[in-house]
């Protein structure tokens, strides 16, 4: 790529996440020769844009860390040459006219609300795009399976599928490759990675944060749409997929798609969504020393939206490997502890010889996401009485990329590698999987439960007691 053009450059996402990711990528020497252009609806002066760059680039420009002297010099040059332009991307012909003066190939990053991105793409023409243009879309990809399909049709009229990057920053290179390396490089694990040996898989993303001034987005999305529909289903598919022949994007993304096509919330044994989905909302409480108000009292929250702040669904992958194994996907806010991990719980042994004392606990494998860790819980003898079983934990750190999550994703864009992006068909499948649960929530079929801010969630949820 020669140019990264950010649409929505004056927005919060760009300043808080996207530009720091770009900065770390350039400063580490992994994006040479890149030009940066910003465009937005706000009437910003050149000075105001430079102030935003200075603030977002500050950490990467500081000596130390992964920034190299040559990379820091390059980042300073990129910032100095960067320009900002006021632009209405939904006005017919305006974005197309602007692109004629941008040096290609271009990575066109839509850091915009989904509805605005959709409209911008609808008024664009294929002839407007410089040769080699790649379109970068932020989640959510549509608001339903139907709207996701409509967006895919719009994008397909502009560029080929392998030139579309649907960004899920939770799917950084470290997350994806650590799971695949763990599974496919260890015969001991892969041999038992199926429903014959595994009781359940939990994928948890609990936060101790509250709304953090994001009510305008979150109160319409909720925990289900914000995390489960996108991030957690994608991680589930990587954990559950069949071994790909290569790490090429075609093999990996096709394996992910096969899992999602086979997935449903609930199965024949749990067809009732009351049994296979749950939702809750936080009430007033304390997170550490911080007092947290009731969710409905938070600024910008509309009680009529009936938004959940904690959600859980049991997904079943209806294939030979995983038949009958629940994949429990849970995410929530204002909880007492931050917990970001996948937990693989193995079935109990068929028979424990009589004479052993102590608790016979299930073998558990924990894969941590940020920090990247691996923990194995085992029962072993002793110490002390050799007839007593004790719990031990084997722990290690997994590899991580020093880039920020957005830097990892952007590197794939700039290197024209869509491995870490969400393919169009899987974006639609993710909506198809969860839509029955969302419909049941909206209809009130699944009741809204409550939990105090700072707690572990509703006490009768199994995942709250792990």
Dist. CA 308–CA 333, nearest whole Å: 10
By C-alpha distance, which of 186, 180, 188 is closest to 248?
Answer: 180
In 132-276, the DSSP E strands lie at: 134-138, 164-167, 198-206, 263-265
* End-to-end Cα distance, the chain: 46
Q: Tokens at residue 345, please?
A: 């719980």
Dist. CA 352–CA 359, nearest whole Å: 11
Dihedral (CA of 209, 211, 217, 222) sign: positive
Is 207 annotated as a binding-site member? yes
Is 139 annotated as a binding-site member? yes
Is 82 annotated as a binding-site member? no
Dist. CA 197–CA 339, nearest whole Å: 25
CB atoms within 10 A of CB 130: 17
Is-catalytic flag, 231? yes
Is 174 annotated as a binding-site member? no
Q: Please, are residues 119 and 90 in contact by the beta-carbon 8 Å criterion?
A: yes
Kindly report whether the peptide bond that precedes residue 378 is cis, defined as omega within 30 degrees of 0: no
CA atoms in the 13 A half-sphere facing the CB of 263: 32
Enumerate the H helices of 100-193 as residue ranges.
114-123, 145-156, 173-184, 187-191
Is 313 annotated as a binding-site member? no
Strand pairing category for 263-265 and 277-283: unpaired
Is 299 annotated as a binding-site member? no
Catalytic residue, chosen from 163, 231, 351, 366, is 231
The DSSP-derived string for 368-414 is ETTTTEEEEEEEEE-SS-TTBEEEEEEEEEPP--SS-HHHHHHHHHH
**Buried (b) or exposed (e) across 66-83, using 16+ Cβ within 10 A?**
bbeeebbebbeebbeebe
Place of tokens 């909302």: 281
Is 343 annotated as a binding-site member? no
Is 88 annotated as a binding-site member? yes
Report how far Cα 58 is from the mean position of its chain's Cα atoms.
25
Q: Tokens at residue 411, please?
A: 């590197």
Is 41 annotated as a binding-site member? yes
Q: Please, are residues 138 and 410 in contact by the beta-carbon 8 Å criterion?
A: no
What residues form the annotated binding site for substrate? Answer: 169, 173, 207, 226, 333
What residues form the annotated binding site for NADP(+)? Answer: 41, 88-89, 139
* Residues annotated as part of the active site: 231
What residues form the annotated binding site? Answer: 41, 88-89, 139, 169, 173, 207, 226, 333
């Amino acid at each position: 790529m020669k140019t990264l053009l950010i649409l929505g450059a004056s927005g919060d996402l760009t300043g808080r996440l996207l530009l720091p990711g770009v900065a770390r990528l350039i400063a580490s020497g992994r994006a040479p020769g890149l030009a940066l252009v910003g465009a937005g609806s706000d009437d910003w002066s050149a000075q105001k844009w430079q102030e935003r760059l200075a603030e977002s680039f500050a950490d990467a420009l500081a000596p130390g860390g992964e920034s190299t002297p040559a990379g820091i010099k390059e980042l300073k040059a990129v910032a100095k040459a960067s320009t900002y332009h006021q632009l209405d991307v939904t006005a017919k012909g305006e974005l197309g006219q602007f692109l004629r003066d941008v040096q290609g190939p271009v990575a066109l990053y839509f850091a915009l609300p989904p509805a605005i991105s959709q409209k911008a793409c609808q008024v664009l023409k294929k002839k407007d795009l410089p040769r080699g243009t790649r379109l970068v879309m932020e989640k959510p990809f549509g608001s339903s399976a139907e709207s996701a399909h409509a967006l895919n049709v719009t994008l397909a009229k502009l560029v080929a599928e392998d030139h579309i990057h649907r960004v899920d920053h939770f799917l950084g290179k470290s997350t994806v490759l650590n799971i695949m390396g763990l599974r496919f490089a260890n015969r001991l694990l892969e041999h038992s990675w199926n429903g014959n040996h595994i009781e359940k898989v939990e994928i948890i993303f609990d936060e101790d944060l509250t709304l953090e001034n994001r009510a305008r987005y979150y109160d319409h999305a909720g925990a289900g749409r914000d995390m489960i529909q996108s991030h957690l289903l994608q991680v589930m598919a990587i954990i559950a997929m069949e071994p790909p022949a290569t790490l090429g994007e075609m093999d990996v993304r096709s394996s992910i798609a096969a899992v999602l096509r086979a997935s449903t919330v609930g199965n024949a044994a749990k067809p009732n969504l009351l049994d296979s989905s749950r939702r809750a909302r936080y009430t007033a409480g304390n997170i550490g020393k911080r007092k947290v108000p009731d969710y409905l009292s938070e600024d910008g929250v509309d009680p009529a939206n009936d938004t959940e702040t904690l959600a859980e669904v049991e997904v079943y992958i209806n294939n030979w490997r995983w038949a009958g194994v629940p994949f429990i996907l849970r995410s929530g806010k204002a909880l007492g502890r931050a917990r970001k991990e996948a937990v693989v719980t193995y079935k109990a042994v068929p028979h424990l010889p009589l004479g052993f004392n102590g608790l016979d606990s299930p073998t558990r494998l924990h894969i941590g996401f940020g920090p990247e860790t691996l923990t194995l819980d085992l029962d072993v003898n002793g110490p002390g009485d050799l007839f007593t079983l004790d719990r031990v934990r084997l722990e290690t750190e997994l590899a991580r990329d020093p880039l920020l999550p957005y830097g990892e994703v952007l590197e794939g864009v700039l290197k024209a590698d869509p491995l870490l992006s969400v393919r169009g068909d899987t974006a639609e499948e993710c909506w198809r999987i969860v839509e029955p649960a969302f419909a049941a929530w909206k209809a009130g079929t699944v009741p809204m439960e409550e939990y105090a801010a700072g707690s572990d969630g509703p006490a009768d949820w199994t995942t709250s007691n792990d």
